[in-house]
Structure 1
């Protein structure tokens, strides 16, 4: 009986093997290990790259991946008329990728985005579950740590992939040209895209936005901590000094941080990953150099989604019932997540994606399967009570200038007292200062 190895298979079967690889990294490893397979790959390069690029994603979100692929072909800062036409044609998108062999200029960006999304999914899990564990400690919840920290299910990964794909599509379509601010027309186009989605899909994008904001506040605060510890002539302080129109570390500069953050968000996942993976002065240089531009069209569009009505939710609102054996019926991509049903107490949700009303999005409830949520202990709690323990990404709202003056809000003694007397200021909802809008905006 003949003995076959991967090297001795026919080129057609070798190509079939490569066609079913699910990550670009695995494909590269295989090609480095086998010169023969590399020769086969070279003869079918465009087709195989196309298949592997789409294999990175859950099969039920291919339509969104295809939309992102088309969006990646549109130049950044494209004319609004082109964006208008793109949104109009979304229903005409041909998503049968198996019939296509895309050129490298089209498919390689998608391969890179797929790799970046995989990185962010792991980061999202780690960041969100850390907060969920902290929530359990503060509320004295009984948590099954092993289940809570187990590998993501296929459905959980699919939900996260879909939300990240849609977030990246928003970033590609609504990037404002360098040196310009977002206009009302940019906001309108972003809202038009979101209105092609279902209400709970918009909430998923808002979850991703909130997670990224939370991570960026951590970056900003780490930079500020370093600036507090160093002398005025240090490199990081000099970087802040050249930021316009105000020193990045000054009181006035602090007021613009959220706007700067919105611009960083709009640059897309690749740039955000560069920010999060960098450190020290390199990170400060990247962030501060992008802190003279402002755009908030994505968050503004998300905040305008409060009028989504019940018929625009994915499935009927009884989805996700417990089957008595450890699983939740309807825990699939086409159904409402069990967390969404719990968070809204089986009522039709409102205020989709609104920035000041983040609800329970900080705990990742939109993406976790029923088994993980059950292990977290939150399903046994009233969601309104859990909401009182919202993570506060502005736990230190003071600028470096104010921190060196040893008072959080020098012009508001009442706020200083609130800050000093609140032992859970990182996780508990803090009394709002009288000039709340001035402080955080």
Structure 2
């Protein structure tokens, strides 16, 4: 296999590396666990709203799809009648700096066309009651494995540390958040050129959490298959992954399929600051879904919680009548589409450990308190300068009760370019079929890739 092609396939592998840890952590106390469903929501957020009412109390979220919902047309906006409360621009940004991340402020100042339309806040997260029960039941026993090798005693919970004591526990919550028990989806990724042009690269993903299979080994956390569908020069490349909870006892298993050789090969993992596949060098492997992979090269400091303007409830962004050229403009998205609201976020500062290598010396990550998703990231270079800005345009998928990404955009301030991921406006709706465990086998990978 040519070196360049091999590197591309290896780079794809690390996109789906999820487990992490560095040192042992205290279990959630029984006292903290008993707060869930009382002053804390079942996922660990503050139940109450804020003092001035601009952030409401959590009332259970959206528990069913609104009338007229048709997945073939995108998600119906339950707040379509609402108008923006105000709009933040370069001219008035000084009034709102206390509610913004440095990266948001820089985007507003750097690009006059970048703006943020602020709408009323809605805490829409609603998970199945079974998930709330699992979070509460498993929290007291979950432990991080020393030396960055995963978690122990986690089987069904989607929030291992609902009352986090440090920054790394918050990162674990992001990694194991509810992303769907089993799904198949198509979406596009593409680097945007400095003149605004781009070529969509279509991916197919199938992912099933190990807890779905009663006949599977309990050590497997997730089964994952990814295949490139287009353009033709990369179509057919595929990756299969069996991710495990605890790598101190069993290593993850990864295979690749090369359409030129028609061979399935066992492959090593690639991660950290390796350039992300098809990103044109605008993003790193561990920036996929805002942050993924082993966190052992950084020290994670839990700065605290704050109120912040973040992208949220982005139903309009998923409209199937939109073309990608309607969404992506030169330098940034069409900012009439994203919806911004005020929410509470956890702030975690990740500093590169002495002696460790990474292109980022520091990352400041902002986690939504309800969903534990990273909603914004500011990434700094070795000189301490803000280099890249990440935006997670999240959406509540009310038909299946989970929060997902309508889009992730990584803005490279130095290159004045953007890298877009997860847009699916021109693709088929997500399917939540449970594939048999044999679908995630080497034989299936070879058969379905030909």
What TM-score do you get using the length of structure 1 for normalisation?
A: 0.24
Larger Rg, first or second structure (1 or 2): 1
With a CA cutoff of 8 Å and minimum separation of 6, indicate the structure with the bigger relative contact order.
2
Structure ranking higher in helix proportion: 1
More strand by share: 2
